[in-house]
């Protein structure tokens, strides 16, 4: 989006919303190019989901954000680990005693719902 168009759109927003959006844009522009590309790919994948799966992803994200900060970090690390596993290994990891000892039932539910949203490659 050209800077002038961005400025016009930002001026229409309520002050609090505008400030949050400006901060988010600042953070985004300070990311390395590879990270910005990864985020753009994630957004494109999200937009290609059917509406009900988009809503499921939004609901999952809200549940994730409701976790305490320290637990959110652990769950996020596990998200990343699961994302990089082949589907069969993901299922085994989710059913493992080790994972069940590390995470609460609520957190395991979030992880299971996350895996259900991943593209099914196999």
**pLDDT tens digits, residue range 57-111?**
999 999 999 999 999 999 999 999 999 999 999 999 999 999 999 999 999 999 9
In a domain, 104, yes or no: yes
Domain range spanning residue 80?
50-117
CA distance 2 to 70: 38
CA distance 25 to 47: 20
In a domain, 31, yes or no: no
CA distance 107 to 51: 24
In a domain, 108, yes or no: yes
Instruction: Report residue 44 as tokens.
Output: 């494109």
In a domain, 9, yes or no: no
Q: Please say whether the beta carbons of 85 and 93 come within 8 A.
A: yes
* Residue 49 confidence (pLDDT) above 50: yes
Split into its structural domains, the chain has a count of 1
Its pTM stands at 0.73
């Amino acid at each position: 989006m050209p800077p002038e168009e961005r400025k016009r759109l930002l001026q229409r927003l309520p002050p609090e919303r505008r400030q949050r959006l400006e901060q988010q844009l600042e953070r985004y522009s300070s990311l390395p190019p590879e990270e910005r590309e990864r985020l753009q790919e994630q957004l494109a994948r999200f937009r290609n989901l059917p509406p009900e799966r988009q809503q499921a992803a939004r609901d999952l994200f809200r549940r994730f954000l409701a976790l305490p900060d320290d637990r959110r970090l652990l769950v996020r690390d596990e998200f990343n680990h699961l994302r990089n596993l082949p589907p069969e290994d993901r299922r085994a990891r989710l059913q493992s005693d080790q994972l069940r000892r590390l995470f609460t039932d609520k957190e395991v539910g979030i992880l299971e719902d996350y895996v259900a949203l991943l593209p099914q490659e196999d």
